[in-house]
């Protein structure tokens, strides 16, 4: 199988830094290689992220990776991936915990049936928990999407803080097309409401099997208003209202994270609440 860029990743058996051995190449993104690795210190498997060999000379990518690693190493939350180590040389490298679940994007593609309304609400509650913690640490995630969420037996972990930043002025285009909030598409000020939008898009896709801009597949054309979730899936009224509330084009009209979490909790059957 050919890889984007044409330059091979680290080979199995390579020790990119002392104490870590590459076991296999997992995936290649637009600018990163992700490897399965072994930690001799922890005596367990882990994940190593490095800048792709063909992109190492590009300004800012190494710093971006190191910034993400340092942030994750300083965070501790049950719904966030853990950061273990950060190395600046010989090349920028970040070590993360190994997660044994599957990404939400893979799970949604694999399932023959759409997740139940209860599962969608539980997903939202856990996303709110992670995002609330990040916001309390002064960070916006800004790239919430199914491929950045890992699920294992109903337990959710959020990945990838590579574009995370503090609230305030920001350049246009942060995050992934189709998931970024309208205000992320232009130069301006970003607030926690941008992540509320991200949660809403993830829940919409989990519930309906497509984003609020489907059919068409070309992504959002702002300032168009996204379709209500009820146009693709019948959900309990409280849950549908919570999802639709996240996707208000005006960020000042979206619920806060704590308010959203309460709405999603209220949509759960009473025996499930408080998990």
DSSP symbols for 189-248: EE-THHHHHHHHHHHHHHHHSS-TT-SS-S---TTPPPPPGGGT----HHHHHHHHHHT-
Q: Which residues of 63-84 are buried (b: 16+ CB within 10 A; e: fewer)?
A: ebbbbbbebbbebebebbbbbb
| Distance between CA atoms of residues 191 and 183, nearest Å | 9
Distance (Å, whole) CA 199 – CA 102? 18
Q: Is 143 a catalytic residue?
A: yes
Are residues 48 and 91 in contact, defined by beta-carbon separation less than 8 angstroms? no
The one catalytic residue in 143, 160, 195, 244 is 143
Cβ neighbors of 162 (< 8 A, separation 6 or more) are 64, 65, 68, 143
Rounded CA-CA distance 172/189 in Å is 10
- Determine phi and psi for 196, rounding to 5 degrees: -60, -40
In degrees and rounded to multiples of 5, residue 150 shows phi and psi of -110, 135
Q: Are 214 and 192 in contact (CB under 8 A)?
A: no
Per DSSP, the residues of 255-271 read PPHHHHHHHHHHTS-TT
Annotated active-site positions, please?
A: 143
């Amino acid at each position: 199988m050919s890889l984007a860029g044409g330059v091979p990743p680290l080979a199995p058996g390579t020790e990119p830094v002392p104490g870590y051995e590459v076991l296999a190449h997992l995936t290649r993104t637009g600018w990163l290689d992700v490897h399965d690795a072994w930690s001799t210190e922890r005596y367990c498997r882990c994940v190593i992220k490095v800048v792709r060999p063909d992109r190492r000379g590009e300004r800012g990518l190494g710093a971006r990776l190191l910034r993400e690693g340092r942030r994750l190493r300083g965070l501790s939350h049950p719904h966030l991936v853990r950061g273990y180590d950060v190395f600046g040389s010989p090349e920028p490298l970040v070590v993360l915990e190994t997660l044994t679940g599957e990404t939400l994007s893979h799970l949604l593609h694999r399932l023959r049936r759409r997740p139940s309304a209860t599962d969608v609400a539980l997903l939202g509650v856990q996303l709110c928990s992670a995002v609330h913690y990040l916001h309390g640490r002064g960070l916006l995630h800004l790239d919430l999407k199914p491929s950045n969420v890992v699920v294992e037996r109903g337990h959710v972990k959020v990945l990838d803080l590579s574009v995370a930043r503090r609230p305030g002025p920001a350049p246009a285009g942060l995050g992934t097309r189709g998931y970024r909030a309208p205000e992320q598409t232009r130069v301006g000020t970003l607030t926690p409401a941008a992540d509320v939008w991200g949660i809403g898009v993830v829940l919409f896709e989990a519930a309906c099997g497509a984003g609020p801009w489907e059919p068409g597949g070309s992504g959002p054309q702002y300032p168009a208003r996204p379709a209500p979730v009820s146009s693709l899936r019948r959900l309990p009224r409280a849950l549908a209202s919570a999802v639709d509330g996240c996707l208000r084009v005006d960020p000042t009209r979206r619920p806060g994270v704590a308010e959203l979490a309460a709405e999603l909790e209220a949509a759960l059957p009473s025996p499930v609440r408080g998990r």
